[in-house]
Every structure is written in C-alpha cells, then in structure tokens.
Amino acid sequence: MRTIFRDDHLMFREQVQRFISERILPRYQQWEKDGITPRSLWREAGENGLLNCSLPEPYGAGGDFGHAVVVIEELARANCLGIGFSIHSDMVAPYLDRLGTAAQKDRWLPAMARGEIIGAIAMTEPDAGSDVKAIRTRAIRDGDDFVISGQKTWITNGVNAGLVIVLASTDPDMGARGLSFFCVEEGLPGFSKGPAMLKIGQHAQDTCELFFDQVRVPADCLLGKLDAGFEYMGQEMARERLAIALRAAASAEGMLEETKNYTRERKVFGKRVIDYQNNRFVLADAKSRLTMLRVFLDDCALQLMQGTLDPVTAAIAKLNATEIQGQVLDDLLQLHGGYGYSAEYGIGRAWADARALRILGGSSEIMREIIGRSL
Ligand SMILES: Cc1cc2nc3c(=O)[nH]c(=O)nc-3n(C[C@H](O)[C@H](O)[C@H](O)COP(=O)(O)OP(=O)(O)OC[C@H]3O[C@@H](n4cnc5c(N)ncnc54)[C@H](O)[C@@H]3O)c2cc1C
C-alpha cells in the first residue's frame, strides 16, 4: 500500500487513466509515425486538469505534487514516455511560478495550464551538455532589451513550444556564475526551430534544435535575477530529477505487468514461458528491485512535498531508478524472445524510450559525481 496519496489523488488517477486510454493510446502509434503530438492533445489535457497540476488556479489545475506524480506515473505505465507533459508542468511551469514576476506569471502560466502554450526549457548546446559552464549562447544587454544569439539542441517539446526558457551567458568571464534565464516566445524575429530530431526512441516526442539569431527580447523577459541561472538550476533540479526517476520506475512496473501476462500465455516446448524457473527468477528479481525502488521514491516524493528533498537524494533517486529501469526492461525484453525486438510490441518501445533517461536531466555519471562529492 502506498501511503503518499489521498482519496482525491486516487480519484484523479482514475480520471488520468481514462484520459490516457481514450485520448492518447488510440492515437499514439500515429504520433510516433508523425514524430510529434498534436497541439490539440495539449488543449484536451488542459481541459482535463492534466497540466501544471501542482500549481494553484489559474496558473495550474489547483492540485499538489501528488497530482503531478499521478500524471507522470500513468503516462509512463501506459508506455507513453514520448508525451512531454512533465517538462512543461514539472519544470517550465515551476521555474516561472518560483522565479517569475506577477506579470510574467499572468502572461504565460494560465495559458500553459489550458494547454494553449506549450513550454520547453533550453539549456543543452551542441558543445555544452553536462558541462553547463561551456554554454556559448549569449544574451547582450542593448538599451531596454537583451539580444540573444546561439544554438540549443535536444530540446524536449521544442517544435510545439510556444514558450522556451533559455539559459544564456550574460557574463562570459564568470563562466557558470554568469548565466541567466530568459523567456523567449515562438515567432520572435531571428528565433527558428529545426525539425523533430530522428531518435532511437520516444518517436512521438518533438525534440529539436533551436536557433537564435540576434533575437531581441525586452528586459522584462529575464527570468529571476541576472547571472543567477546556475544557482536556480541547482534549486530546481531536484524536482526534475525526481520526476525522471518516477517515470523510470512506473515504466518498468508497467512492463513487468505486461511481461507477466505475456509469459503466462506464450508456450515453448509445451510449457508456458513463466513455468521455467529461470524465467520466474527474472520476473522475481524485477519485482524485488522495483518494490524496493518504489518505497524510496515515495519517500522522496513526500520529501519534495514537504520541501526537504535535497539535490543528493534526488540524484540517488534518478541514478537508481533509471539504471534499474534499463536493466529490468532489458531482462523483460529477453523474455519476449523475438517479439521483444518487434516494434509492434510495447516492450521494445519501452526499452528504446527508456534509454534516454540515463542521459537527460543529468547523466548517470553526473549523478555519481554529485553523490560522490557529498561523501
Ligand atoms: C531525449 C532527450 C531529451 C532531452 N531534453 C532536453 C531538454 O528539454 N532541454 C535541455 O536543455 N536538454 C535536453 N536534453 C539534453 C541532455 O540533458 C544532455 O544530453 C545531457 O545533459 C548530456 O549532455 P551531452 O549530451 O552533451 O553529453 P556530454 O556532456 O558530452 O557527455 C558525454 C559522456 O561523458 C560523460 N560525462 C560528462 N561529464 C562527466 C564527468 N564529469 N565525469 C564522468 N563522465 C562524464 C557523460 O555522462 C556521457 O556519458 C535531452 C537529451 C535527450 C537525449
């Protein structure tokens, strides 16, 4: 029994499950082929209270982080890791809510909650991923404006994004201590996007490159204080990393259920796959690891709600959850035999989609660095 959820969370979970089975699953394969989810999905999700769950109305759906956990978990359990709601709701919206002025919040958050504006956050560059201080995108003050030039890559929700929070260097001599966040709207002169990138998984996700060629934004598009970007990242990363860990765990749990069913039905040499002790042991190992993980992640979620989740614990959560997910999904795929390698079966998609989670939001090696430095 999980103890972090109240009755309203449980009712919300049923509502989210209904939304996914009626509005997402019948269309998901097509979106995988399209390389993008339609903007109409986001408006439907907004109408159903699935976006910005943990923010008060009108900035969000009026829930708390427990509601956000429900959306994260149900999408992952349904094998829809390509839907980018979490970056929008659990990263972009909280950045705006915490750092934004009243005018910035009023301008973007209600429209994000309704799914009319889709949010993205752009930190990574072709030559700067793990090493944030290597960021080259520049924002230069010019009268009442900032002028932004540079390139970002691997930006989740990039093609659909109406609002991108961009990390740029405002004081190159200061390295990581000279970075600032800016709110950049789609359609500004000089701001262009590449097509959805070709990836090995998460095909419905419109991850893309963004280009800034002397993009002029008014100074009131600076988010938070000048040169405080790195400090803000440190404060916000715990939530993002926990959200990734929760996705990883729920995805593996969903696939364990699916594989249990598959191995009960599939017969080899006259016996069901699950009747072989080796295969039962594989399932038992997966169950044991995921059960332990679940207890730790629920504790982390509780800490986040109480405002006590620290960056090292969040790094431990992300490292463990994504590494366990990767290993468990590989084992579960093996139990499907050749069908595991088929794009027609969910397990193959889950396995490929999962691979990104050990890299994005800080790679496993960076998580080990964070944990190691704390020892
Ligand atoms: C599907 C997907 C979606 C993404 N979405 C976003 C997004 O929305 N916004 C955004 O800004 N970025 C996004 N990213 C980018 C992601 O955050 C980066 O890919 C990640 O931070 C790693 O950076 P990199 O790719 O430049 O790898 P590099 O930093 O070049 O790393 C290469 C290798 O070196 C290792 N390494 C790096 N530093 C160390 C170290 N100190 N010690 C030991 N090993 C080290 C890494 O772990 C990795 O194995 C996304 C990436 C993917 C794949």
**Which residues, in sequence order, are CB contacts of 338 under 8 Å at separation 6+?**
none
Q: Is 354 in the pocket of ligand 1 (CB under 6 A)?
A: no
If you average pLDDT over residues 101-112, what whole number do you get?
Answer: 98
CATH number given to 7-113: 1.10.540.10
Distance 362 CA to ligand 1 centre (A): 6
The one catalytic residue among 240, 253, 258, 323: 240
Q: How far is the C-alpha of 162 from the C-alpha of 151, rounded, in Å?
A: 17
Distance 364 CA to ligand 1 centre (A): 9
**If we measure between CA atoms, which residue out of 277, 240, 256 comes closest to residue 329?**
256
pLDDT of residue 132: 94
Q: How far is the C-alpha of 17 from the C-alpha of 77, rounded, in Å?
A: 10
If you average pLDDT over residues 121-150, what whole number do you get?
Answer: 97
Exposure string (b/e) for 260-295, b if CB count within 10 Å is 16 or more?
bebbeeeeeeeeebbeeeebeebbeebeebbeebbe
pLDDT of residue 343: 86
Q: Assign 74 a pLDDT band (cuts: 50, 70, 90).
A: very high
pLDDT of residue 347: 98
Q: How far is the C-alpha of 238 from the C-alpha of 249, rounded, in Å?
A: 16
CA distances for 267 relative to 180, 274, 275, 342, angstroms: 58, 9, 9, 18
- Our answer to whether residue 240 is catalytic in this structure is yes
* Topology (CATH) of 119-227: Butyryl-CoA Dehydrogenase, subunit A; domain 2 (2.40.110)
pLDDT of residue 184: 98
Q: Is 132 in the pocket of ligand 1 (CB under 6 A)?
A: no
**Which residues, in sequence order, are CB contacts of 189 under 8 Å at separation 6+?**
215, 216
**If we measure between CA atoms, which residue out of 51, 24, 39 comes closest to residue 114?**
51
Q: Assign 1 a pLDDT band (cuts: 50, 70, 90).
A: confident
Q: In terms of DSSP bridges, do strands 119-122 and 179-185 run parallel, antiparallel, or are they unpaired?
A: unpaired
pTM equals: 0.97
Q: Assign 294 a pLDDT band (cuts: 50, 70, 90).
A: very high
pLDDT of residue 344: 85
Q: 106 pairs with which residues across the strands?
A: none
How is the chain split into domains, by residue range?
Answer: 7-113, 119-227, 230-373
**The CATH classification of domain 230-373, taken from the options 2.60.120.10, 3.40.462.10, 1.20.140.10, 2.40.100.20:** 1.20.140.10
Q: Is 207 in the pocket of ligand 1 (CB under 6 A)?
A: yes
Does residue 56 have a cis bond before it (omega within 30 degrees)?
Answer: no
